[in-house]
Amino acid sequence: MKTSLKELQEKLNTQKNLLKGCNQEISEAQAQRAQLVKDISNTQLDIQELEHKVSKCNKDTNDAAKLVSEYVFTMSFVS
């Protein structure tokens, strides 16, 4: 059962084409991964920004509540 050179060349070409297809799929998957990593990073930055805003609002609310309490306390002595 001898395989001719032509048949071996065809098998080799088939394998090369298969590898090219696999390499293309891998490249596409890597590009998708890179985009997802970038999207995750941007989302994490957005989350940090929102957490900072919430923290600042909480601080401002607490400061305002203290100011009102001090004002009410002061006014209770004036009356």
pLDDT tens digits, 12-62: 999 999 999 999 999 999 999 999 999 999 999 999 999 999 999 999 999
Half-sphere exposure in the Cβ direction for 58 (13 Å, CA): 6
Domain range annotation of the chain: 1-79
- Please give the pLDDT value at position 79: 63
Q: Which two tokens stand for residue 5?
A: 């050179």
* 47/53 Cα distance (integer angstroms): 10
Look-up of token digits 């009356």: 79
Mean pLDDT within 56-74: 92
Specify the pTM: 0.65
Distances (CA, A) of 78 to 32, 65, 70, 72: 68, 20, 12, 10
Q: Residue 70: pLDDT above 90?
A: no
